[in-house]
């Protein structure tokens, strides 16, 4: 290979790396749309609660958002790790939003998997939820980290063991 050919390949690699970095930064800088903030979920009492009010209720705290369902094997497998994160980061508010098919299944799932810590909500619109459309939900579990002001710090993780979750939770302590 000539020096010119090597230089061209290196330049292509730099362009691809820059493009990838830009795309990754864009994903992490995503903000919630007005429709997503106005989306409504049910709490354990059966009251309707907007996503905006969930964020406001946790203002001043880092939030770990866990979108899950009791029928989802990957969600259930990740639950012990989420519980460990709750123990390791007691100042972090954990918000669970369920995609269970109905309210009864959601509540049974909370009991069955002993998810006693955190706040719980049910997405009665399912996958059609405005929030889920806004965040391009394509898989569960889906974990997100929000800062104390409700800004997205981690846009997408699909495993509770994702190192980016711990990194964001650690950074929130500083």
Delimit the domains of the chain by residue range: 1-30, 32-173
DSSP 154: E
Closest by alpha carbon to 36, among 146, 118, 139?
A: 146
Residue with tokens 């354990």: 44
Specify burial of residue 116 (Cβ count, 10 A radius: 0-12, 13-18, 19+): exposed
Q: What is the pLDDT of residues 6-61, one digit of tens each?
A: 677 666 655 555 555 444 444 445 789 999 999 999 999 999 999 999 999 999 99
User: Band of the pLDDT at 65, cuts 50, 70, 90?
Assistant: very high
DSSP 145: E
Q: State whether CATH 3.20.20.70 applies to domain 32-173.
A: no
DSSP 126: G
- pLDDT of amino acid 15: 55
Q: What is the pLDDT of residues 69-103, one digit of tens each?
A: 999 999 999 999 999 999 999 999 999 999 999 99
Question: What is the Cα–Cα distance from 98 to 142, expressed in whole angstroms?
Answer: 11
Please enumerate in sequence order all residues whose Cβ is within 8 A of that of 93, keeping only pairs 6 or more positions apart, or say none: 58, 61, 62, 63, 64, 118, 119
Residue 173, pLDDT above cutoff 90: no
């Amino acid at each position: 290979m000539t020096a010119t050919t090597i230089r061209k390949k290196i330049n292509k690699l730099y362009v691809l790396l820059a493009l990838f970095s830009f795309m990754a930064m864009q994903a992490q800088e995503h903000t919630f749309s007005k429709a997503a903030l106005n989306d409504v979920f049910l709490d354990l009492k059966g009251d309707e609660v907007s996503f905006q009010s969930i964020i406001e209720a946790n203002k001043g705290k880092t939030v770990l958002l866990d979108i899950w369902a009791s029928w989802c094997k990957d969600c259930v497998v990740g639950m012990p790790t989420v519980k460990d994160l709750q123990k390791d980061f007691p100042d972090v508010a954990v918000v669970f939003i369920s995609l269970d098919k109905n309210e009864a299944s959601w509540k049974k799932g909370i009991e069955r998997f002993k998810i006693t810590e955190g706040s719980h909500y049910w997405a009665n619109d399912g996958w059609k939820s405005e929030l889920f459309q806004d965040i391009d939900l394509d898989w569960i579990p889906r974990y997100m980290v929000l800062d104390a002001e409700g800004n997205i710090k981690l846009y997408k993780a699909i495993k509770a063991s994702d190192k980016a979750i711990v990194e964001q939770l650690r950074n929130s302590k500083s």
